[in-house]
Homo-oligomer: A and B are copies of this chain.
Amino acid sequence: MVTTENASKSETAYQYVLEKIRSGSYGPGYRLVLSRLADELDMSVVPVREAIRRLESERLITYLRNVGATVTGIDPTEYLYTMQTLALVEGYATALCAPLVTPADIARAREVNRQMRERLADFDPRTFTELNLRFHAILFENCPNPHVLDLVHRGWNRLGALRSSTFAYVPGRAASSVDEHDALLDALEAGDDVETIEHLARRHRLATLEAYLAHAAA
């Protein structure tokens, strides 16, 4: 038995476009034409419009009145804003979740990180990013504050637009990232206080940002 399709059309459209953006099918600058989307999804433009506006309020889409919608690009400035914000909320989320992370969770996270390390040799940004998200998702599984978790997810979606994140562009960043993961797990295992955890997790994200900035300047 298939799960009953109980979603409204606007919800369907939202999920559809979101997935396209996350997966990179719709890259930055991609032009979204309402009527075309409506055709594609076999619905009228009204629900599509709604979905687009919703994505706009999540900064995933740039909307110009009477002109149209495009997938929001990420210039260096936007990248800075997004990464700073993500560092903030990921750091906090990690700290909030720290007391709830079980040894089993840590073991799973270590396994994911091991896979990441394995892939350092022949590097594929696509799967590496995927594993990276899975790693952090494990730590956030029982997040006691859904609002914060939601902000984390929005940040991830935002970065999804530039598929490969910074890993591909900055040599050596991927390797450092894997090391930082282990350091974070060590701290969690040792039961370090939440402030340390928050700082570690925040630095982890900021390090990627700074690596990018340094690389871009050169």
For this chain, the copies found in one complex come to 2
A151 touches B151 (CB 8 A): yes
B53 touches A151 (CB 8 A): no
Q: Say if the beta carbon of A164 comes within 8 Å of chain B.
A: no
Name A92's closest neighbour in chain B (CB-CB): B88
Minimum Cβ distance to chain B for residue A66 (Å): 9
A81 touches B151 (CB 8 A): no
List the B side residues contacting A151 at CB < 8 Å. Answer: 85, 151
List the B side residues contacting A177 at CB < 8 Å. Answer: none
Instruction: Tell me what chain A mostly uses at the interface: helix, strand, loop, or mixed.
Output: helix
Give the segment of A98-106, A111-119, A126-134, A140-148 that binds chain B: A140-148
| Complexed CA–CA distance, A85 and B85 (Å) | 12
List the B side residues contacting A81 at CB < 8 Å. Answer: 145-148
Choice from B10, B57, B80, B88 contacting A54 with Cβ under 8 Å: B57
